[in-house]
Structure 1
Amino acid sequence: GTSPLALAARTDADAPSRYPDPDSTDLRAAIGALHGIDPALLVMGTGSDELLHLAAQGYAGPGDEVLFSRFSFVVYDIAARRCGATPVEAPDRDYGSDVDALLAAVNPRTRVVFLANPNNPTGTFLPAAEVARLHAGLPGDVLLVLDQAYAEYLDPADDDHGLALAAAHGNVLVTRTFSKIYGLAGERVGWATGGAALIDTLNRIRGPFNVTNSGQAMALAATADQAFVTHARDHNRAVRAAFAEAVNALGNHGLRAVPSEANFVLVLFEGALSAEAAYAGLAERGYMVRWLPNQGLRDALRITIGTREQMEAIAAALREMAEVA
């Protein structure tokens, strides 16, 4: 859902006939205050997608390579190709990023490394020590982009220290979004932070009015409503754990939940019931989930966490289908 404060702010936003603040000044100030970041080291984007594209555009081009793990966010491949660079996939480790495999794939042509943490679409997570090890192993002229779209779903104690890395090193960019836990996907609001030179580069090539009036107003109100964020995180953690337990109880039918720190669970289908059949069966029952054969996940479904009642119904439907497959 969306914070009631954010929904109320939509009606109070400047008229759509007026251009928005091109620098999102008030919103950057609020984000900076929340996370302890100098607003001058923040840049806003049309969702974090724009910022991911800008990172590749600003630091890679023809003849260069953009590196990421297998089963990562599909935008990384697109961003690399869009700027003329070559996308390179490193092998995964049980559907998650493998630091050793990433470092082994680095060569003199590598310009940008993308890491989604937690990962999309698998939900896997690298702890702070592994993220630090990845950064330490990269040449200083390679940009590490930490895509933290799902970071707010983490217990604060599990923070991967990406913001601290970005504050301390000139080759680390962290991106975040208001599309996930804040529930503002339709408004397309994202932000990034890094060293002054990185932010200057992104500001030079971003769109001039890239966050709308309503997007700025709603994101500003959402930032102030951290009680909503805490409630959403606690709900997600509890319902996700119960759903994963219900899926893993179907292990004798070949179903397995990949451990997730995001607001979804990747369910593997390794028995008689195929992911494609489960996808169709859930659709018939009114549930839309993600089947991703084009991302190499033909035998898996990415299932977003909803209400407790919805997730219990989906688990029951999976059991019903598995028992007759």
Structure 2
Amino acid sequence: MQQDQWTDGPMIERSQAKAQKEDRKAWELLEKSLLASVQEQRRSRRWGIFFKSLTFLYLLGALFLFSPFAGLEGTAATGKPHTALIEVRGTIADRQEASADNLVTSLRRAFKDEQTQAVVLRINSPGGSPVQAGYVYDEIKRLRTLHPDTRLYAVIADIGASGAYYIAAAADEIYADKASLVGSIGVTAAGFGFVETLDKLGVERRTYTAGEHKAFLDPFQPERADERAFWQTVLETTHQQFIDQVRQGRGERLKEHPDLFSGLVWSGEQALELGLVDGLSSASAVAREVVGTEELVDFTYRESPFQRFSRQLGTSIGNSLATHLGLAAPALR
């Protein structure tokens, strides 16, 4: 009897150990299943957030790109006779609000509209690139030739100077307020020289070029008299081009004055006496009293906020650095 008890004891212990082992395996399997389920839920939640974010960005981009403000004229044509209004605001430069691309697009839309009785350029700009201003000037001349019955008037608000006046000179007539700033028919290019600063800091400038004058205007090297003289000829040539276009646009209305093309800026009242403008008025008054069609319809091309933010983010730093280092192109001032 005692022998049977000793025989059955180990068997019972083995059976219990086996059962415990099977229980542990079952719990481990259950734990792994639960953990896998939690991980799958987390993974699914992350993908869900990703696709929701992607959808939100897509809808946001579509809102900016296809909104009424995304590069369309400010106001849709009404189908009735109107005076087309185009704003020339800010610096005239590539990738700016008053770029040649934007202004030319606006002008073509305005002249193409069959209900446009006349076009008014409302100018509030200190000037900018002679190239961009020249593009707009030439396009105005071309459109006036194609549409001889559609007159174009330039109306200067606070300021219409330099490149802005270059554009205005292509108009049939120019108007301004008595206190507007008008003219500044000249060209400028400015920079800095850091040669002595580098010497004091003990910094050596090393420049490698192919071409004797390839690095001319480098602000970290001493200025050379021959290169300065050459750069002056570039500015004077550009200035003469500006003068020629103003004379062509204004004709005999200009009064001869020794300082007319010196770069000075004049009040609207003075500009009237010099023949730089034809009268003192505003855009709405010109539409009402000169054109005879009081309703103004805005044809100004405008970028969407998203396009404007992207452009400014990508160009503002580079443009500012080039200007301050003297590496920018000449500007009409």
Task: State the TM bucket, normalised to the shorter chain.
Answer: under 0.3
TM-score by length of 2: 0.27
- Higher alpha-carbon Rg: 2
TM-score by length of 1: 0.28
